[in-house]
Structure formats: structure tokens, C-alpha cells
Amino acid sequence: MSNRISLQLKGLLYAIVTALLWGVLAIALKVSLKDVSPLNIAWFRFALAFFGLAFYYFWKKPEYLRILRRPPLLLILASLCLGINYLGFITGIHLTSPGVAQLFIQTGPVLLAAAGFIFFKEKIIWRQIIGFMLVIGGLLLFSREQGCFMISDLKTYHTGIGWVLLAAVAWAFYSILVKLLVQRHPPMQLNLVIFGLPALFFLPFVKFTGFANLSFIDWIILIFLGLNTLFAYGTLALAIRYIEASKVSIIIILNPVLTFALMGLITLTNASWIAHEHYTIPGMTGAVVMLSGAVLSILKPPRYKV
């Protein structure tokens, strides 16, 4: 029993680390976008994560590298989906704000839960249906309030939300494919292809001159973004190994709380290095409703022993 509790705590810790890494991610991306294009950042994140993971397995488990020779078709499709997710998310942040993007990207886990009912014939209960309704209502309220502050450029704001929703859909498809693939391959071995292929796909469109005049701080942020990719997906895989995926999803889906809190503190300090967020009571109410609905929709029905 004590060993089981220890494993549960370990899984919980890994899930919290993943949530913290993703909670800070949106802010770091917004800062980096001042000097680097969205596509360049997306490529750099994948490239650094791939070479870091490949170097590790070259020394520790070289047999893992064999998957690069002939990756499964589903793995190629999953890599494309994650590439779209990264590009859509960072473009959405570029056009909106870290808080807005972080909230709307949480529709990805909700869509994944819905996919479970459609593709995996999972049982749906009323609590989850109510959760889906709360997600839609909360997002509409939050979006309406945030749109009031973007009234001068409402088209850009809505375009940014569209990019984030595209990223969420791509992430849901990516997760479905990975759920099928992990039955035959270790998760971190899959990440070799999942990181490597998008870096290869984005390569022809990268403008390397955009890296030429970056400051030391810019490079530190870029390296952090790449390592964030590597470690966040690593801790996510470890979390799923020790505790149920639904519990991991619930912890991770709360990462916007950290983003909102940090952006609130930054706004209070009147910092000039990032655009400030605009928080209102109706807007925050919408965010809480949305996140509550997401938790309800993801939470699995209890299993009763007969």
C-alpha cells in the first residue's frame, strides 16, 4: 500500500511540474515574440528538444534511435499535429495575450475527452455534459470581456483566438494518436520523432537571419523554451506512467491559473517588457466557469465494484 501511495505522489509531482512549466511557457513565448518570429521560435523549440533527447539516447539507449529510420504512419501524423499545435498556439499568443491563449488552449483536453466518447466508446454521464456546457459558456463570457479591451483591433483578436482553437484541435488529434501508439512504444521514444519531424518540416521556412542580432537574454529565453518542450513532455510521460491520465489532465488544465497570477503580478509592477493583461470580474468569472467545466468534462465516471 505504501509503495502505491509513493508512486501516486510521484506521479502527482510530475504532473505539477508539467503544469508549472506550461504555466510559465505562454509568458516566455510572448516575451520572445518581440524579437523572433513565431515560426522561428516553433522550429527552435522542436530542434533543441530533439537534439537534446537524441543525444541522451545516443549514450544511454541507442536502440531507441532505430525508430527514426522508419517511423509508423500514425507517429508521422501525430508529429504533424503537434507541429500545427505549436505554430497555432504561438501565433495565437502573438495576436492576443498569454492569458487569453492559455485559457482557450484548454479546449484541447476537453476535445480529447469528447473524442473518448466518439472514438473509444467511453461512457458519458450528465456531469460531463454539464461540464461541456460550462466550458462553452465560460469561454464566451471571457472572450466577450477581453474583446472589449481589443475593440480597436477586434479582427486581430478573433484571428488569434482562431489560431489557438486550431492548436487545441491539433493537440486533441495528437493525443488520440499517441494514446494508440504508447501501447506499442515507450512515450519518450515516440518523442524523438514527434520533436524531430516538425523541426524538419519547419526548416525550409526558417529565416536564420532572424537569429543573427539576438541579445544574450533573447538566447536564454529561446533555450528555456526549447528545454521547456523537452522537460514538460518528459514529466508528462512520467506522470501518466504513475497515475491515471484523467487525473494528470485535471492538474495540467489548471496551468492558466499560474499564467493569470504571474501576469497579474507583472501588471501590478507596471513592467514595460510585456503587454499587460486586462482583468475584470466578469472576465475572471468566465475563466473560472470554463476551467470548472473542463474539470467536470475530463473527470472520469467512478467505477463501482459489483
Domain residue ranges in the chain: 2-298
- Give the lowest-confidence range in 142-146, 269-273, 287-291: 142-146
Indicate the pLDDT class of residue 306, thresholds 50, 70 and 90: very low
The pLDDT tens digits for 236-254 are 878 877 777 667 777 777 7
The pLDDT tens digits for 49-85 are 999 999 999 998 899 999 999 999 999 999 999 999 9
pTM for this prediction: 0.87
**pLDDT attached to residue 235:** 86
For the residues of the chain, what is the DSSP string, one character each? Answer: -HHHHHHHHHHHHHHHHHHHHHHHHHHHHHHHTTTS-HHHHHHHHHHHHHHHHHHHHHHH-GGGGGGGTS--HHHHHHHHHHHHHHHHHHHHHHHS-HHHHHHHHTHHHHHHHHHHHHHS-----HHHHHHHHHHHHHHHHHHHHHHHTTGGGHHHHHHHHHHHHHHHHHHHHHHHHHHHHTTTS-HHHHHHHHHHHHHHHHGGG--GGGGTT--HHHHHHHHHHHHHHHHHHHHHHHHHHHS-HHHHHHHHTTHHHHHHHHHHHHHHTT-SSSPPP---HHHHHHHHHHHHHHHHHHSPPPPPP-
Asked if the model's pLDDT at residue 299 lies above 60, the reply is yes
